[in-house]
Amino acid sequence: MKKILTLLIGLALFYSCSTSNDGNGNSTTTVVPVSPSNLTGVVASSIQINLSWTDNSTNETGFKIERKTGTGVYAVVGTTVTDITTFNDVGLIPNTTYTYRVYSYNSAGNSPTYSNEFTLLTFTTDIDGNNYQLVTICNQTWMQSNLNVSRYRNGDVIPQVTDPITWANLTTGAWCYYNNDPANGAIYGKLYNWYAVNDSRGLAPTGWHIASDSEWTQLTDCLGGLTVAGGKMKSTTLWDSPNTGASNSSGFTSLPGGVREPNGTFQFKGYSSNYWTSTFNNTFAYFRNNVSVNASAYRGTNGDFHGALSVRCLKD
């Protein structure tokens, strides 16, 4: 048994190092580099992910970056040289899940293990070029910010309507900023009447849709039910005090963008977030909302088609 152990140790040493001569008859030994660690990254755009990691070795020639798409097979997509611990992966596909790992290498071979794996989902982009970060909650993938598009999926323009009287008499799709102020749009996105939500030309980007009432129920049930889900969905900033129960533990990042009433007036910015669903009957549309004064998520069934609410999209 002792001879077998000695042989195994000898083989391990043989395969983890290389021996050469320094030209003066002296033997030199190179060992494989230590594995990198702490791989992390950020989504820079809908087509780029930036990676970084920790270099734990002192003798690497460089690092090799491997990537897989979804549940696919890993392949090398990049190489860096000694001490370079960042890599920008470009030319990616929007709305796609990528997983990465990194190893170090030198003339003796590769590091004995890979770094940790790190998974990211690239932004999705609407027809206007707006980027949306994404979050997966209980097997649903949602946009992490409110829709901000000004055109339907086919390219047709959605009118911006500022005049309250004109707004109140609309029977076709339109959008506005809260208080008609573009500064609000940069934070909260656009507010849409329900005619825009229901337009056959498609308000959501390709590959996405306006969630139905039952799909919203799936979300809130997964987060513990209506009485607590709101707190898990609300952002921890921008809300009026007390923003009860807000933790955003789901990552949904519900923002208090307010509403435009059917008569064309605005209210509730800071107090409530309000989202259309795609579900309706002959008289009303269904909607969802959160408020600052408790942790509940609310389900409404009497949304006036002329009102304007925020929109969140769900991946097909």
Output the pTM of the full model: 0.77
* Segments in the chain forming alpha helices (H): 2-15, 164-168, 182-188, 194-197, 213-222, 226-233
Quick: pLDDT tens for 3-18: 444 443 344 434 445 4
Instruction: Determine contact, residues 277/268, Cβ cutoff 8 Å.
Output: no
Percent of the chain with pLDDT over 90: 86
Q: Does residue 24 have a pLDDT over 60? A: no
- H/E segment holding residue 70: none
Percent of the chain as helix, strand, coil, to the nearest 5: 15, 40, 45
How far is 64 from 106, CA to CA, in rounded Å? 11
Q: Can you tell me whether residue 46 is helix, strand or coil?
A: coil
Quick: pLDDT tens for 157-198: 999 999 999 999 999 999 999 999 999 999 999 999 999 999
Residue bearing the bigger pLDDT, 55 or 6: 55
- How crowded is residue 242: how many other Cβ atoms within 10 Å of its Cβ? 10
Look at 8-22, 48-62, 117-131, 172-186 and tell me which has the smallest mean pLDDT.
Answer: 8-22
Query: DSSP secondary-structure letter at 25?
Result: S
Quick: pLDDT tens for 71-114: 999 999 999 999 999 999 999 998 899 999 999 999 999 999 99
Query: Residue 156 CA to chain centroid, in angstroms?
Result: 27
- H/E segment holding residue 269: strand 266-269
Q: Does residue 229 have a pLDDT over 70? A: yes
Per-residue model confidence (pLDDT) at position 282:
86
Q: Which residues contact 10 (CB under 8 A, 6 or more apart)?
A: none
CA nearest neighbour of 180 among 264, 291, 239: 264
CA atoms 212, 231, 225, 269: torsion sign: negative
Q: Is 167 exposed, middle or buried (0-12, 13-18, 19+ CB in 10 A)?
A: buried
How far is 272 from 291, CA to CA, in rounded Å? 4
Per-residue model confidence (pLDDT) at position 29:
58
CA nearest neighbour of 310 among 232, 194, 213, 158: 194
